[in-house]
Structure 1
Amino acid sequence: MDLQYLVESLVDDAQYRNLPPTQIKRITDNSLNVEQGFLFVAIRGEKTDGHSFINDAIHKGAAAIIGEDDLTGLSIPYIKVKNSRIALGAISKKFYDNPAKDKIMIGITGTNGKTTTSYLLKHVLESNGVSCSLFGTIKNIINGEEIDTCNTTPSVLKLNELLYKSNDQVVILEVSSHGLSQHRLEGMTFDYCLFTNLSHDHLNYHGTMERYFETKASLFYKMKENGKAIINVDDPWGVKLEKVVRKNNEEVYTVGQSSQADLHIEDIKHSSLQIADEYSSFQVDFNMPGLHNLYNAVMAYAAASQFDLTREHILSSLVTFPGVPGRFNIYKHHNDATVVIDYAHTASAILHCLKAANDYGADKVIHVFGFRGDADTDKRGDMIRIASEHSDYYILTFDDLNEVSEKDMIETLENLNQTYGNQKGFIIPDRTEAIKYALEITGSRDWVVITGKGHETYKQSYSLPTSSDSETIEYLTN
């Protein structure tokens, strides 16, 4: 593709209107991937600055560079822009010929529930003959093929590339606050935007809950002209979001216990909800325990009901949902105790998991969890407080240490437990040993709830020869 055509809408400066004829073979924002004829977009990240690798990119054969710095004297065309991330979105969309233009685009955001809701919606739609691409925390899926992912929301370049390859009718994206703030959805517009909930998370990145909310809310400015917002108004931040969206004269479909909600939740039971829409009242059954999962199911129902599908077909599809890796996965110990593995890593998510165990009649609940070395430290006290209030015993252990030493993390766990915990809690740093001990002290009607890692593999080596919570459970129960 011709460079002039690719960048003509990025800058107004006259010096870029007559660039030398230059053909662009591919685009990349990683200098390691540069090959002959590539356009390299230099981006400032949290840890590295792409501008530092411009000379490397030229040496590897880059045909042109886009960046934010004032640079002269380069041997190839250099286009200066105000924001390289925004520029990358614009040129990616253009290079791949707006690959989302003929697809139904669905974005799902919120602190908790994005993954389960997205998998639920994909399952319901595909059970009814609607093919779906999915981009999210666990993996990306296009044309039925699973592709590893490193971010909840892919980079805008990767997203356009995958959309270009996708033959699916619908695209479902988990939309993270990091993805929104880093312009990974630049140029994307959505037919439906879903909001699940908002609670304390990522404040080390966003600073305040208000800024966190504003970032999440920015997804709803990306709706198409006839787009629709689907919002859980049982969450107070959802109530605020509804007002924001309506102020912009966008269409809103609300879900909640309020009689004013478009999809009104009338009655809540262990594994079902009685809900009503404008036509009648009906029951939603679901096979994943926990009130939070019932809400995920209702959000998926609300989105699926916007398609040309019968209520009966949607409800029957929800019942056959096979679950999500690392999201309230249930195992049986050989003494008949119940073991749950869940990705929960916020106080509210942990509360939902522990309440589900108690609601299902657990004699004792034993909770195993830890904290990430580089994560939001302000939420840790609330996580321990919830564990101490809603479990019979809790075991603090290692999660991902990242840059934190084992010694420092043990000291952190001790201080946190002393400040926020009680006599129910103790510390076993080795995660596999913590899980092993939890199983050893269970009875037949007890529940062991292991949170934080979910589907993820361990980043540290532990005493047992396992690489994930699920492998550890399988190793100990065989």
Structure 2
Amino acid sequence: MNLHDLMNGFANKTILHSLPCTFVRGITDTSKNVQPGFLFVAIKGYKADGHSYIPDAIEKGAIAIVGEDDIPSLSVPYIRVNNSRQILGRLAKRFYKHPSSRKTIIGITGTNGKTTISYLLKHIFEQNGLSCALMGTIKNVINQKELSSFNTTPNVLVVNEFLVQSQDDVVIMEISSHGLAQYRLEGIQFDCCVFTNLSRDHLDYHGSMDQYFQAKAELFNKMKDHGTAVINIGDSWGEKLSAGLRKRGSRVCSVGAAPYADIRLEELLPQRAKVKVVDQQRKQTNIQFTMAGTHNLYNAVLTFAAARQLKLTNEQILPAIQKFSGVSGRFERLACKQGVTVIVDYAHTADGIFHCLRTAKQCGAKRIIHVFGFRGNRDEGKREEMIRVSAEWSDKYILTLDDLNSVPHNEMVESLVLLNERAGRRHGMVIPDRTEAIRYALDQSSEGDWIIVTGKGHEKYQQSYSLPTVCDKDTIMYLKDWKGRRQF
């Protein structure tokens, strides 16, 4: 595509007419990726300003620059815009010839449940002979090949390239609020969008729950004309979203216990992972899942609803749900001896912790020992609520370190001690070393106890601890199998 055609509609007429019909070989917003013939889009980042890298981009062969600053003269054409992030997505859509229009794409957003639903949907499609690409928190999968994931929702150029390269029948994407707020999905359109729930998280970035909600709701402005929104209206924010979408004429499939829900949850048996639902035609369906807990049953029903919207039948969906093997680090149960159950879960919000611990209670835990911590440089306002929920639903909690994210070790430890003292909980304690905290929980456990380790899930540790292990699951298995110690 030539530069004039690529910029048509994004540059004013005077600039547009002065642009040469030079062939554009690629687009990038990272100067180190510039090659001769590339268009460089300068973006004001949170740690660096792309405008300061314009000379480097030109030196490497950029044929034109797009940016927000008023720059008097350059040796290549400069197109000034109001929002470089947004324009980058629109340019990518045109350059890559609108790849989302040629794909069946599902987007899943919400505070909790995105990964479980994305994996379950992928499993359902594959059980029915359809190939499925995945872009999410744990990993990316394309053309049956696994790739590392660095962001839940990557850069808009990466998203477009992913869609162009995918030969899969269906593409499933976990959608983060950061990705939506930063225009990483600008120009991408979806066949089905799923809203799981909304609870406090990322307010260090968004500022308020309303702004957090508005960021999530932006996904539903990206549905194709025939697209459908599947929304959990058991969540008050989901109720608000559903009402707004119906008002403007969008197709909505609501899920919840309310009598007016399109798919109504009528009987929940969380400890048995079973639920009965009723649709608008009063047809009853029994769903047998493999993951216990009320929140996981909602995940299963939202998945069921999305698959139905994409024209799969009950006969195709229900057997697949029954065969689902679960997700790494999502209420993952690890086999331990002497009647002790250990769960590793990604829960990192008060709501996530509540659902985790309540599920353990529902499943008959005699005693619950909860190990968790807080990430450095993240929403500090949610920490006291996380402790309050843990104190209410566990018999003993152990505060420990999570990712420091540049916060000094001693500072984070002091914060844990202060938070525990402020909570005034006699059954709470602080063990900074995460592996030692898990060891202590195991040492204190007895038959019928459940140990719940939350916060990291599938993720690897970012710092070293006393044990030579790389993640929570690895630590538990190491302690379980360590000769010379009590076998858990």
Q: Shared fold (TM-score greater than 0.5)? A: yes
Shift of the alpha carbon at 1:33?
1.6
- The partner residue of 1:354 within 347, 354, 357 is 357
The alignment partner of 2:18 has SS state of coil
Provide the C-alpha distance between the structure 2 equivalents of 1:204 and 1:418, rounded to a whole number of angstroms. 24
Q: Is the 8 A contact 1:128 1:309 kept in 2?
A: no
Partner of 1:229: 229
Q: Is the 8 A contact 1:388 1:394 kept in 2?
A: yes
Letter of the aligned partner of 2:328 in structure 1? P
- Taking the TM superposition and a 5 Å limit, the aligned residue runs for 1:36-51 are 36-51=36-51
Partner of 1:314: 317
Provide the C-alpha distance between the structure 1 equivalents of 2:424 and 2:218, rounded to a whole number of angstroms. 37
- The partner residue of 2:278 within 271, 276, 279 is 276
Q: Is the 8 A contact 2:228 2:309 kept in 1?
A: no
Provide the C-alpha distance between the structure 1 equivalents of 2:33 and 2:462, rounded to a whole number of angstroms. 26
Q: Is the 8 A contact 1:54 1:65 kept in 2?
A: yes
Partner of 1:250: 250
Shift of the alpha carbon at 1:200?
0.6
Q: Is the 8 A contact 2:133 2:141 kept in 1?
A: yes
Shift of the alpha carbon at 1:159?
0.2
Partner of 1:370: 373
- Taking the TM superposition and a 5 Å limit, the aligned residue runs for 1:336-347 are 336-347=339-350
Superimposed CA distance per residue, residues 32-61 of structure 1 (whole angstroms, 9 cap, x where no aligned partner): 222222221111111111111111112222
Matching of residue 103 in structure 1 with residue 103 in structure 2 = yes
- The partner residue of 2:393 within 390, 394, 398 is 390
Letter of the aligned partner of 1:347 in structure 2? A
Superimposed CA distance per residue, residues 288-331 of structure 1 (whole angstroms, 9 cap, x where no aligned partner): 12111111111000001123322122111001111112111110
The alignment partner of 1:305 has SS state of helix
Taking only the aligned residue pairs, the percentage that are identical comes to 54
Shift of the alpha carbon at 1:239?
0.9
Partner of 1:83: 83
Letter of the aligned partner of 2:395 in structure 1? D
Provide the C-alpha distance between the structure 2 equivalents of 1:179 and 1:470, rounded to a whole number of angstroms. 29
- Taking the TM superposition and a 5 Å limit, the aligned residue runs for 1:57-68 are 57-68=57-68
Matching of residue 381 in structure 1 with residue 356 in structure 2 = no
Partner of 2:416: 413
Provide the C-alpha distance between the structure 2 equivalents of 1:235 and 1:106, rounded to a whole number of angstroms. 21
Provide the C-alpha distance between the structure 2 equivalents of 1:238 and 1:208, rounded to a whole number of angstroms. 17
Dislocated runs of 4+, deviation >3 Å: none
The alignment partner of 1:173 has SS state of strand
Partner of 1:324: 327
The alignment partner of 1:397 has SS state of strand
Letter of the aligned partner of 1:276 in structure 2? V
Matching of residue 199 in structure 1 with residue 199 in structure 2 = yes
Return 5+ residue gaps in structure 2 as ranges: 482-488
Q: Which moved more, 1:380-389 or 1:124-133?
A: 124-133
Provide the C-alpha distance between the structure 2 equivalents of 1:436 and 1:173, rounded to a whole number of angstroms. 36
- Aligned pair count reads 478
Provide the C-alpha distance between the structure 1 equivalents of 2:190 and 2:252, rounded to a whole number of angstroms. 14
Partner of 2:301: 298
- Taking the TM superposition and a 5 Å limit, the aligned residue runs for 1:254-269 are 254-269=254-269
Matching of residue 160 in structure 1 with residue 160 in structure 2 = yes
The 1:192–1:421 alpha-carbon spacing in structure 2 relative to 1, beyond 3 Å, is: farther
Provide the C-alpha distance between the structure 2 equivalents of 1:13 and 1:411, rounded to a whole number of angstroms. 59
Superimposed CA distance per residue, residues 382-423 of structure 1 (whole angstroms, 9 cap, x where no aligned partner): 100011111111100000001211111111111111122501
Shift of the alpha carbon at 1:129?
1.9
Q: Is the 8 A contact 1:367 1:450 kept in 2?
A: yes
Q: Which moved more, 1:167-176 or 1:430-439?
A: 167-176
Q: Is the 8 A contact 1:8 1:17 kept in 2?
A: no
Letter of the aligned partner of 2:49 in structure 1? D
Shift of the alpha carbon at 1:362?
1.0
Taking structure 1 as the reference length, the TM-score comes to: 0.98
Partner of 1:435: 438
Return 5+ residue gaps in structure 1 as ranges: none
Provide the C-alpha distance between the structure 2 equivalents of 1:39 and 1:226, rounded to a whole number of angstroms. 34
Provide the C-alpha distance between the structure 1 equivalents of 2:473 and 2:441, rounded to a whole number of angstroms. 14
Provide the C-alpha distance between the structure 2 equivalents of 1:229 and 1:167, rounded to a whole number of angstroms. 25
Matching of residue 287 in structure 1 with residue 285 in structure 2 = no
Provide the C-alpha distance between the structure 1 equivalents of 2:395 and 2:41, rounded to a whole number of angstroms. 53
Superimposed CA distance per residue, residues 365-392 of structure 1 (whole angstroms, 9 cap, x where no aligned partner): 1100000111101110110001111111
Q: Is the 8 A contact 2:116 2:330 kept in 1?
A: yes
Q: Is the 8 A contact 2:111 2:197 kept in 1?
A: yes
Superimposed CA distance per residue, residues 157-208 of structure 1 (whole angstroms, 9 cap, x where no aligned partner): 1000010001112221111111111001101121111111010111111111
Partner of 2:20: 20
Taking structure 2 as the reference length, the TM-score comes to: 0.96
Shift of the alpha carbon at 1:279?
4.5
The alignment partner of 1:74 has SS state of coil
